[in-house]
Each structure stands twice: as C-alpha cells, then as structure tokens.
Structure 1
Amino acid sequence: MMYGLLYRIIFGSKWLNQAGGVLLLAFLVVVPIGLGALTALLTPREAGKAQCIWVLPWTTVGIFLVTAAILGFEGAICLLIIFPLFLGLANLGAWIYTLGESKEKPPRNAAVVAALGVLPLLVVPIESRFVMPTSLRRVENTVDVAATPDVVWQHIIRVPPIEAADLGPSLVDDIGFPRPVEATLSHEGVGGVRHATFERGVEFIETVDVWKPRRKLSFRITPNTATIPPTTFDEHVTVGGRFFDVLRGTYELRPLPGGRTRLVLYSEQRLSTNLNPYAGLWTDYVMSEIQRRILQVVKRRCEVQAVVQQ
C-alpha cells in the first residue's frame, strides 16, 4: 500500500503534473503492476497461488484506494474509474512475479519487484515526449414519446426546473456528479443562448447554431468556469479541462405514426488521455446516464401535456 501512496504523491506533484500526472500510463498501468508484484513477494509461499495472484493483490488495491480517498487524493469518480483497472493490473503484476519466482535464489524475486518498483519513473521521460492523443466521441440516447413534435419541441428548447425525484436514482449521483436542474433560452432561433444549469453551481452555456422547429435543435457547449466551484469536480474529470470536454449537444425529433415522436439526444465530447479506449467507456456511461434521465423527464412532461390537451 505504501508503494502505491508514494507514487500517488509523486505523480500528483507539480513536477509531473504538466506531463499528465496521475493520468500517465506510468501511473495507471505500471504502478498497479508493481503493486501486485510487491504483494506477491510479501505473500508466504504456503498461502497458495490463488491467494498470491488473486485475493491478496485485490486486497492491497482496495486498501490503497480507500486510503487515497480518506487522504483526499482522489474523488469518487476517479476511484470508480481506476478501481477495475488497478485490480486487473495488480493480478498481472503478481503473475509476472510468480514467473520469476525461484526457491533456490530468493534474491531473484526481489530483483523482479525492484525493477517494477522503479519502472514508473523510467517510463515517465519516454511517455512525456508524446502528446496525449485526442479522441472525439459521440453518445446517443433515444426515447419514443406519446406526443406530437409540436409538444415535444416546446419541452426541449427550454427545460423548466427538474426536481431530484423527477430524475430517479442513478450511479452518477452516487459518485458525485451534479444533477441537471434546468435549461433556459435567451431567444428562439439561431444565436439563442441556453443556460443549462446543474447542481452545485455547474453551468453550461449552449449557443444555438441549428434551429429547425419541430425537427432539430443543435448547439455549441462551453462550460461556465466562472460559476463552477473548484471542489465540484475532481481535477482529472473537470469538464472543459485538459483531459475532457463536452463540445456539442443535439436534439432531433422524428415523427412516428399515431401522433408520436421519436426524440434523439446526442452529444459530442473530447477525451485527451493516454488511455482513451478505457476512459471512454466511463465518460460514455456518465454522458449516457445524464442524457437518458433528461429524456425521461421530457417524455413524462410531454405525455402529461398530451393527455391534458385531448
């Protein structure tokens, strides 16, 4: 555990922050491998391979992450993201250790762990020479609404205040992501500005650049960093930061038989890390959950209005 905490401090320092800090592969990949190998070294041989490769590395990772959370090194969102990654790589590190294990020459075991122990610092200069790749991602959600496009359109250009009970429970709430509150609109048409607000002072400024009544609404998104407290997001998942940003949002309305409407909401995000395929699984999930819940609120409101108008 101390091995992991030491490297968390090192990679969280100003010295390495410019290069990417704890989002470097040297930390996200090499450190948990070393953590697993060190755990295997300290595991008594009589414990058996299952304990050595699986159980005890998972225990070590769990203790390390809980301690990191208690010390304030990581927020709930980051902990959830790195937890399965660290578990798998710690197992790999323990397995690598067992490959080099020798009953006749115990020092060889220590040499394997020592090599993995300093490897993160050796990888940093190499990794920092490369610019983190950028991935543009799109997340789409769809819902069928028992209301006409006319009704649905009025409920998406502006979204009146949303109560927590309207949204229902979700994992994104449990890990600390703010709930959506409302969306206002300065004026209708291209150039109109929506202010999409979330809990805890989070606000996004959405400038409309596609306005096709009852068919399509699309807008550029800019986080209002002046209103977002620094404690709202972990620095590594801050929207509009160096690693992640939400660029656009789009609603499309597609008429269906029987006076119904298929409402599609999709967003485009920028992800800039050295582990984009893995990180993208999590950002896609969070964005999909936010969009799904907003669509459900719109669906219920539209259908209530449609019934009243009948």
Structure 2
Amino acid sequence: MTKLKNWKGVFYGIAYGLVSRAIFALEDFSNGSVNALLPTFGLMTISFMFLVPFATGLLAAYHHDTVTSSRKVASISMPVFAVAGLIGISVLSGKEGIICALMALPVFLFMSLLGGYIGVRIFKRNKGDLSVSLLVLLPFLFAPLENQFVLADKIFTEHTTIAIEANEQDVWNNITRVKEISEQENNYSFFQLMGFPRPIKAELDTVAVGGMRKAVFARGLFFTETVTQVELLKTLAFNIEADPASIPPQALDQHVMVGGTYFDVLEGKYEIEKISNHKIRLHLTSQFRLSTPFNFYTGVWSKILMKDIQQNILEIIRQRSEAQQSS
C-alpha cells in the first residue's frame, strides 16, 4: 500500500486529465451546442493543450510533494507518468488518434513538467486545498477569454525534391497520371505507420488548364484537384479541394481533417528540372492552411507531415521512372 500511495499524484493527474479532456471534447463533437454551462471551445485550444497538462503537473506535485522534491528524480517522472497515462488511455480507448497524440506529446510533457516544478515551489510554502483548487480550474477560467480572439489563418509552404535517373517524358507520364500503387511499391513512411492513409492512385481527365485530377488514398480518402498551370514536360500545378463531409470518419483524425476547421491543403505543384538527357530533378511544392491558436507549433508538425507524404510520392515516381528507363 505504501508503494501505491507514492503514486497517488500520478493517478490524480491522469483522472484530472481524462475528466478535462471529456469536458473540452464536448464542444468538438457537438459544434459548441452542448457545453453551454461550461464553455471550453474544444480540444484545439491553448486552454486544453497547454493549461490542462500544466494543471496535471500541479496535481502530481500537490498529492506527493515529498516524492516530487526538486532533489529527487521523481520530480521529473511523476508528471511524465501522469501525461503518458492520459495520452495512452485516450489512444487505447479510441478517443484520440495516434497522429494527434504524437503532436500533442511534446507540449504535454513540457507543460506538465513546468506545472510539477512550480507546484513543488508553491506547495512547499502553502499546501492548501483552496490554492490547488484555483490552479486546476485555470484551463476552464481561461477558455472563455481565449475564445474572444479570432483564429488566424496562416499559409505554409513545403518543398521537396528528388533526383531521378530518367528522361522528362517518363517522369511527366508518372506525375500526370499515377497508376495504382501496390502495397509493395509503397514506401511505408513514418506518418503512414502512425495512421495516415497511404496513396493509391491519381487520375487526370485531360492535361490542360481546367483539367480535373482525382488523388485517391486508402480508407476512402480522396482529393479533387483542378489543374491551374501546365507547361509540357516541365510544370503541372493544381488547386486542391477536400470535402470533409465526404471523408470517412476512419480515414483521418478529426483535428487533422483536410478541409476542416484547423487544416487544409490548398495547392500542389510539380516542376521538372532537366540536369542531363538521362537525369532530372523533380520538385514537389505544396501550400496548406492552418487555423489554430498555436500555428507556431502546429506549423512545425504540419510541415513534417507534408514533407513525409511528398517524399513518399516522389520516391514512388522515381522508382517507376527509372524502371521504365532501364526496360
């Protein structure tokens, strides 16, 4: 029992995090209509992403400040275990996708450690129930204030390249119309392993401005693309449209839904740079929108995600083009 008691801060932290997540999630899944008595405005808020893990760390310190003494290793481990338990239970119960959990983890770890450190300092001087009660209410008190600020859209650009031992024609054929990609051809990238659907094919009705291109991914995900620029054997650019209502729920996590409130891919562009008669450099550039209260952070992850997707597509084009060159 003594050993179990030493972990009570972790259990309180996990319980607080799960209850807070359930309350904040009410508005995410009801368009804000259910949570009128305690408005939180969803999970993609500073109140949840930053203040809930901060309060989790405070609770870990409050319920076992002797264990979380700054002179002991447990001052780091207790808030970390609490956050790991919160995220682990959310993923295993199906309440959160792996991609979203991965993106949230660094913030949750940092803020919980900060909360634990500050909590040790506060509760060493004054360990009162009133003080901890006020501190754990911080996310809910801040949420209505945060909602007064309008989400700012920010446009990001991601550019990737690959060298291909092939001529322009073979590469051009492989970017204008991407034949079905088998599982053997697909290079399982990091975010695919985390749950992002793999690419299947891309169909284009005509290689001309105004042509319609359909990019198909696994689990029913697809994008409708309109060609905006064509320069034969050199450039193919297109606008990208995604209808969130047409995307199956199992295809993407809600908070990284393409065309949704927080994230959208806007444009794609292939450019062929000729190096020699049998070698080219293929460029793929995308533009995407983010609309979160912390674009500075989600932007980093979104660029990593887009780079991961684009590198996989370019590698498939390289393999196909070089195979055609040698045949």
Q: TM-score higher than 0.5 here?
A: yes
SS, match of residue 22 in structure 1:
coil
| Alpha-carbon RMSD | 1.8
Q: TM-score of the superposition, structure 1-length normalised?
A: 0.93
Query: What is the CA distance between 1:14 and its match in structure 2?
Result: 3.0
SS, match of residue 254 in structure 2:
coil
CA contact (8 A) 1:33 1:116 kept: no
Query: What is the CA distance between 1:77 and its match in structure 2?
Result: 1.2
Unaligned 5+ segments in structure 1 are: none
Change (3 A) 1:45 1:152: same
Matches of 1:247 and 1:20 in 2, distance apart?
26
CA contact (8 A) 2:272 2:280 kept: yes
Matches of 1:47 and 1:29 in 2, distance apart?
21
Q: Does 1:244 align with 2:257?
A: no
SS, match of residue 207 in structure 2:
coil
Query: What is the CA distance between 1:286 and its match in structure 2?
Result: 1.3
Matches of 2:235 and 2:68 in 1, distance apart?
62
CA contact (8 A) 2:68 2:120 kept: no
Q: What pairs up with 1:5-20 in 2 under 5 angstroms?
A: 5-14=18-27, 17-18=31-32, 20=41
Query: What is the CA distance between 1:154 and its match in structure 2?
Result: 1.0
Equivalent residue for 2:90, pick from 56, 68, 88: 68
CA contact (8 A) 1:201 1:229 kept: yes
Query: What is the CA distance between 1:258 and its match in structure 2?
Result: 4.5
- Structure 2 letter corresponding to 1:63: G
Matches of 2:168 and 2:140 in 1, distance apart?
58
Partner of 1:256: 275
Partner of 1:39: 60
Q: Among the aligned pairs, what percent are the same residue?
A: 34
Q: What pairs up with 1:21-60 in 2 under 5 angstroms?
A: 21-45=42-66, 48-49=69-70, 50-60=72-82
> Which whole-Å deviations, capped at 9, do the CAs of 1:25-62 have from their partners, x for residues lacking one?
00001100000010011125156424443101000111
Change (3 A) 1:225 1:125: closer
- Give the stretch that moved more between structures: 211-220 or 112-121: 112-121
- Structure 2 letter corresponding to 1:255: K
Change (3 A) 1:47 1:139: closer
SS, match of residue 188 in structure 1:
coil
Matches of 1:3 and 1:225 in 2, distance apart?
32
SS, match of residue 167 in structure 1:
coil
Query: What is the CA distance between 1:167 and its match in structure 2?
Result: 2.0
- Give the stretch that moved more between structures: 70-79 or 197-206: 70-79
- Structure 2 letter corresponding to 1:74: E
> Which whole-Å deviations, capped at 9, do the CAs of 1:113-172 have from their partners, x for residues lacking one?
222211111101110011111110111110011112122111100001111221223221
SS, match of residue 56 in structure 2:
helix
CA contact (8 A) 1:143 1:296 kept: yes
Change (3 A) 1:120 1:84: same
Q: How many residue pairs were aligned?
A: 305
Matches of 2:206 and 2:159 in 1, distance apart?
26
Q: Does 1:84 align with 2:106?
A: yes
Q: What pairs up with 1:91-240 in 2 under 5 angstroms?
A: 91-102=113-124, 105-107=126-128, 110-225=129-244, 227-240=246-259
- Structure 2 letter corresponding to 1:197: V
Query: What is the CA distance between 1:102 and its match in structure 2?
Result: 2.7
CA contact (8 A) 1:142 1:263 kept: yes
Q: TM-score of the superposition, structure 2-length normalised?
A: 0.89
- Give the stretch that moved more between structures: 225-234 or 154-163: 225-234
Partner of 1:302: 321
CA contact (8 A) 2:41 2:143 kept: no
- Give the stretch that moved more between structures: 216-225 or 55-64: 216-225
Partner of 2:311: 292
- Structure 2 letter corresponding to 1:67: I
- Structure 2 letter corresponding to 1:57: P
Unaligned 5+ segments in structure 2 are: 1-13, 33-39
- Structure 2 letter corresponding to 1:159: V
- Give the stretch that moved more between structures: 142-151 or 244-253: 142-151
CA contact (8 A) 2:227 2:236 kept: yes
Matches of 2:67 and 2:151 in 1, distance apart?
44
Change (3 A) 1:115 1:150: same
SS, match of residue 149 in structure 2:
coil
Matches of 1:307 and 1:188 in 2, distance apart?
26
Matches of 1:52 and 1:96 in 2, distance apart?
14
